[in-house]
Amino acid sequence: MSVVVTTPTGHVGSRVVRLLIQAGVRPRVLVRNPARLGEATRERVEVRRGDLTDAGFVRDAVAGARSVFWVDPTPHTAADPVETSLRTAAPLVEAARAGDVGRVVMLSSIGAEKRHGVGHIDALAGIEERLDATGVDVLHLRCAYFFTNLLLDLEGLAQGVLTTAFDPGHPMPWVDPRDIGDVVAARLLSEAWRGRVVQAVHGPEDLTFHQVAQILTEALGRPVRLNPVSDDAVRDTLRAAGLPPSAVEGLVGMAAGSRGLVPEQPRDLLTTTPTSLSGWAHARLRPLLEG
What is the residue-level pLDDT of the chain in tens, covering all 291 positions? 699 999 999 999 999 999 999 999 999 999 999 999 999 999 999 999 999 999 999 999 999 999 999 999 999 999 899 999 999 999 999 999 999 999 999 999 999 999 999 999 999 999 999 999 999 999 999 999 999 999 999 999 999 999 999 999 999 999 999 999 999 999 999 999 999 999 999 999 999 999 999 999 999 999 999 999 999 999 999 999 999 999 999 999 998 888 888 899 999 999 999 999 999 999 999 999 987
Sheet containing 137-143: give its strands across. 46-49, 28-31, 3-6, 65-70, 101-109, 137-143, 196-201
Q: What angle do CA 269, 274, 277 make, to 5 degrees?
A: 135
Question: Quick one: pLDDT at residue 12?
Answer: 97
Q: What angle do CA 174, 284, 161 make, to 5 degrees?
A: 70
In one-letter notation, the amino acid at residue 180 is: I
CB 119 within 8 A of CB 253: yes
Question: Quick one: pLDDT at residue 200?
Answer: 97
What distance in Å separates the CA atoms of residue 138 and residue 67, rounded to the nearest whole number? 9
In one-letter notation, the amino acid at residue 261 is: L
- CA 289 and chain centroid, separation: 24
Q: If we measure between CA atoms, which residue out of 140, 68, 90 comes closest to residue 110? A: 140
- CA 272 and chain centroid, separation: 16
DSSP string, 216-235: HHHHHTS--EEEE--HHHHH
Q: How does 225-264 read in b/e, with b if 16+ C-beta sit within 10 Å?
A: ebeeeeeeebbeebeeeebeebbbbbbbbbbbbbeeeebe
CB 235 within 8 A of CB 251: no
Q: If we measure between CA atoms, which residue out of 2, 14, 16, 11 comes closest to residue 183? A: 16
What distance in Å separates the CA atoms of residue 37 and residue 133, rounded to the nearest whole number? 34
Tell me whether strands 172-175 and 206-207 are parallel, antiparallel or unpaired: antiparallel
CB 42 within 8 A of CB 17: no
- The model's pTM: 0.94
Q: If we measure between CA atoms, which residue out of 166, 161, 165 comes closest to residue 233? A: 165
Question: Quick one: pLDDT at residue 126?
Answer: 97
CB 117 within 8 A of CB 253: yes
CB 19 within 8 A of CB 185: yes
Question: Quick one: pLDDT at residue 261?
Answer: 86
CB 72 within 8 A of CB 141: no
